[in-house]
Amino acid sequence: MGKQKKKNTNIKMTKKKTSSSHVWLFLIIGIVTIGLAVFMLTGNFNKDSGQSELSYKNQPYLGEDDAPVSIIEFGDYKCPICKDFNESFFPLIDQELIQTGKVKFYFLNYPFISVDSERSALYGETVYKEIGNDTFWKFHKLLYEKQPEDQSQERKDVFTEKFLEDTLKEVTSDENVKKVSGKYKANASEKAVETDEALVNDLGVTGTPTLFVNGKKFEGNTFGDLQKMVEEAAKENKGDK
């Protein structure tokens, strides 16, 4: 809000000047009113609804393009809880929510545990960029399956470049592996991982796995809790149309 004008104490002010001041006052009030209206109709309104602005552009996903609800998982390929999530919790999400057309599911990187985390995140992003979405998810699944059972190894260099190449060979051709590895060495996907990490900071993500349903953080513990949140988000979307 601008500073108030200093009161004019000159009693000889003409009628013409007084009228001019009134005109400017009305103009200022009009501009401020319009500004407030625009503000309420844009980003600030999303805060009232508890929904954060999330960009899903250029992110690997599963599900139908027109699914009414979007879920984001922030994960780390060296996180043992993420491994458990992908082996026990995610199959329920896939069967009940993704395959039924209710949800479009995205994966974003939060590589914080070790150098292996960063390396596998970069390699995975390169797979997605160079070969495509389908191969990415096959590679994604294999990485979690191959995560060491011995948790004492979680900070060691297990996910080396050779390991990542050998894992990718299980789901695609040698020619594709060579293509991905070349781009990986050139740091072609560094910006993509940085984009994910920027969202981690913006949303205040502090651990993995962390889920967001249509921009709202999932705070529940069971699949039933997630189902309920998805249903509520679908109703909200339907009400907005």
Mean pLDDT of the chain: 82
What would the mean pLDDT of 69-89 be, rounded to a whole number? Answer: 97
Contact criterion met (CB below 8 Å) for 118 and 84: no
- pLDDT, tens digit (0-9, with 9 covering 90-100), for 193-230: 999 999 999 999 999 999 999 999 999 999 999 999 99
CA separation for the pair 127, 135 (Å, rounded): 7
Contact criterion met (CB below 8 Å) for 202 and 225: no
* 3 state DSSP class of 11: coil
- Over 80: is that where the pLDDT of 166 sits? yes
CA separation for the pair 90, 226 (Å, rounded): 11
Cα separation values, 119 from 14, 87, 88, 238, Å: 75, 22, 25, 41
Return the pLDDT at 56: 79
- Over 60: is that where the pLDDT of 45 sits? no
- The token duo for 156 is 């060691």
Q: What is the CATH number of domain 61-240?
A: 3.40.30.10
Going by C-alpha positions, the residue among 93, 95, 89, 128 that lies closest to residue 109 is: 128
Return the pLDDT at 30: 46
